[in-house]
Amino acid sequence: MAADTRDSTSAKQPQTSSAMTEPKAKTYDTFNYPATKENKDSLPGAAPNTVVGKQTEPGVVDALKTIKLQDFKEVHKKPCTREGFLAGIGAAFAVGGVRAILGAPIFTACNWAVGAFAFGSFAMHEYCQGKRRREKEGIQKVNAALLEKKIKEEMKREEIRRARRKAKEESGQ
């Protein structure tokens, strides 16, 4: 291949904004491949060039670094978490207890209880989230209807005002 004959000192470097060259702060954004010094020909957001060198994608360790102790201290403040945990505890007690009473070994009954807890918690959490979503959509519909009603009432009042002004002008002449 022929060598590049362009003079790198005379060519103007295009100005790039800092938003294009700085990586995003979120480590779990796996599609963020910022241009680096060793890979300056790549575009921000483009897949890495395997010839120059591959950037490492965020993995499990990077994801675990984003978890803070404060997240666990405030888990009860998240919506639907309480309902999910309570349903999971109830399911675990019921399934594990029934399995133990029916003569399954304790270890097997405990495994079933853990599985029932996980499934029950997940199912109740998703049910609660769906219920909240439907409530939110209902509230949005009510708000839209109230706004529409308010606009119609305001238009009606404006028509009445115009009619009064017109009647007043005709009586005044």
Kindly state the percentage of the chain with pLDDT values over 70: 68
pLDDT at residue 71, as a whole number: 84
Of residues 162 and 22, more confidently modeled: 162
Query: Given pLDDT bands bounded at 50, 70 and 90, which one contains residue 107?
Result: very high
Residues 32, 23 contacting (CB under 8 angstroms): yes
pLDDT at residue 85, as a whole number: 94
Dihedral of alpha carbons 111, 79, 130, 83, sign? positive
Residues 120, 87 contacting (CB under 8 angstroms): yes
Q: What global pTM score does this model have?
A: 0.53
Statement: residue 91 has pLDDT above 80: yes
| 30 to 2, 25, 82: CA distances (angstroms) | 36, 12, 31
Query: What average pLDDT score do residues 20-45 get?
Result: 53
Residues 110, 96 contacting (CB under 8 angstroms): yes
Reduced to 3 DSSP states, what percent helix, strand and coil does the chain have, rounded to the nearest 5? 60, 0, 40
